[in-house]
Amino acid sequence: MIVVDTNVVVHFITDGRATEDAAALFDEDGEWAAPRILMSEFRNVLVGMIRRGAITSDRAKVMSERAAAILADRITPVESAQVLDVAIECDLTAYDAEFVALARTLDVPLVTLDGGILDGAPDVAVRLRAFLDAS
């Protein structure tokens, strides 16, 4: 099991610069966990894509359902106090701190493309490409 952030899921579900790497990650370890906020962040990305004309609303709904299916029952709540502590400790937004807090709680890597998370939480955060190279 690994924790993935929204960027990884976006690249896995949509066509992006890291789509192939995200697919390889899923093949390597498809047991992805994430905090509840991931689905809201993911839907926000989809709304932006709809507004830019990159996808239709119907396509976005299919993508949202696919993301939910991939994460299945591994959408996990995190303690508010822990999120606040992590945000302050790692100089992250509370949104990003949720992913770090969950990875620490589960004692698993957090695979990400986010430079701020990589810099702020090197104890758990691993760049997507580096995770694949180490596997």
Helices (H), the chain: 6-13, 19-28, 37-51, 57-71, 80-90, 94-106, 115-120, 128-134
- The pTM of this model reads 0.94
Q: Domains of the chain: which residue ranges?
A: 2-134
CATH no. of 2-134: 3.40.50.1010
- Please list the pLDDT of the chain residue by residue as tens digits (135 residues): 999 999 999 999 998 788 999 999 999 999 999 999 999 999 999 999 999 999 999 999 999 999 999 998 999 999 999 999 999 999 999 999 999 999 999 999 999 999 999 999 999 999 999 999 998
